Amino acid sequence: MSGSRESRARVARRIATAAAYGGGGIGLLGVGVAGLLLTETRLAVRAVGLLDGDPPKADGVYGAAFADPLEIEPPLVLAFLGDSTAAGLGVARGHETPGALLAAGLASVAERRVRLLNVARSGARSADLARQVELTLPHRPTVAVIIIGANDVTRHSSAAQSVRQLGEAVLALRSNGCEVVVGTCPDLGTIKPVRPPLRWVARRLSRQLAAAQTIAVVESGGRTVSLGSLLGPEFAARPEMFAADRYHPSSQGYATAAMAVLPSLCAALDLWPDDAAPDGGRESVLPVAMAAATAAGHSGTEVAAADPGTPDFGRRWALVKHRLRFGLPGAGQQNGTADVPPEQQAQAAG
């Protein structure tokens, strides 16, 4: 296990280094294996099928109970960027999307209204993040959540380029005063229609990319939460966690993933209590690459700079936390859609 983690750390560091220095040619597969993966991917896509329609819209203001009559405190702005998982493809109602769940959760913890802006798009890859950042910045986001990576793996994007593009997006947001939490690449080896040898290749590529993403994000001033193993055994054992296409999460699946992200989202804004001990007291400071490799194999693991106030130290060492996960409040009218446009309220109400 330790050897596997060390190997993953070395590969992640090589990808992250290539990304930092502009290397675009580094790949994770040989030509022969890549050809096999491409063939198997096409078969898997046929088996999975496609979901009809677009993800439900959930943009609006959450936390109506915390409305400030004097408008002294404007709403916090939560931006969501990334792919179909960030957009919420697979559910029918706006309040079931991860953006809505986290907006309602953040509003409850902060006791303050939260405005949700979701610019994520189905099929997006890391290359699309620059455009999404452009759409986000005029709204002056307080905090952003990015979920990206699955399409980079399935479409065989250069790992180094994907990691560099993610790092640039995080840096652009951080340069504008926005905190950033990234849900790293999920474990694509859990998808039921994906069969060996694609399954083990997909799992390996997913975890290697997730680890490299973590290095780039931490070194760009953000923090990550591992979605890999969260969407692994827990999802694999419970079919109801998947939508009809057996690929995207269902409403239960999104709620599980959102519960893992919420503590880190709140901690990024100094809203999570310091005395909320990590799960089992597991917390450690590791070299960034080793921290990234560790997180890639453990559900809900947060990685952030060990000491953000000391840049040199923060780039070399990272704090790994296994936070407690709590239930999310519903994102219905009681918790926050009162300020959402009427047509969206109707959609959220089902």
Both tokens assigned to 281:
């007291």
Q: Where are the beta strands (DSSP E) in the chain?
A: 60-62, 76-82, 114-118, 143-147, 179-183, 223-225, 283-287, 301-305, 317-322
pLDDT computed for residue 18 by the predictor: 66
Average pLDDT over residues 299-328: 72
Please check the confidence at residue 280 and state whether its pLDDT lies above 50.
no
pLDDT (tens digit per residue) in 9-55: 777 777 766 666 555 443 444 445 555 555 555 555 555 445 556 78
Please check the confidence at residue 227 and state whether its pLDDT lies above 60.
yes
Active site residue ranges: 84, 245, 248
Average pLDDT over residues 84-107: 91
Average pLDDT over residues 125-131: 97
pTM attached to this predicted model = 0.81
* The total number of residues written for the chain in this structure: 350
Please check the confidence at residue 347 and state whether its pLDDT lies above 50.
no
Q: Is 115 helix (H, G, I), strand (E, B) or coil?
A: strand
Average pLDDT over residues 169-193: 87
The separation between CA 184 and the C-alpha centre of its own chain, rounded to angstroms, equals 5
Longest dimension (CA), the chain: 65
Look up the domain containing 263 and give its range.
2-51+59-349
Q: Tell me the helices (H) and strands (E) count for the chain, helix number first.
A: 13, 9
% of the chain with per-residue pLDDT over 70: 64
Both tokens assigned to 323:
């936070």
Q: 185 or 42: which carries more pLDDT confidence?
A: 185
Q: Is 302 helix (H, G, I), strand (E, B) or coil?
A: strand
What's the total number of domains in the chain?
1
Q: Residue 6's domain is classified under what CATH number? A: 3.40.50.1110
Average pLDDT over residues 173-197: 82
pLDDT bracket for residue 294 (50, 70, 90): confident
pLDDT computed for residue 223 by the predictor: 96
Both tokens assigned to 313:
């130290």
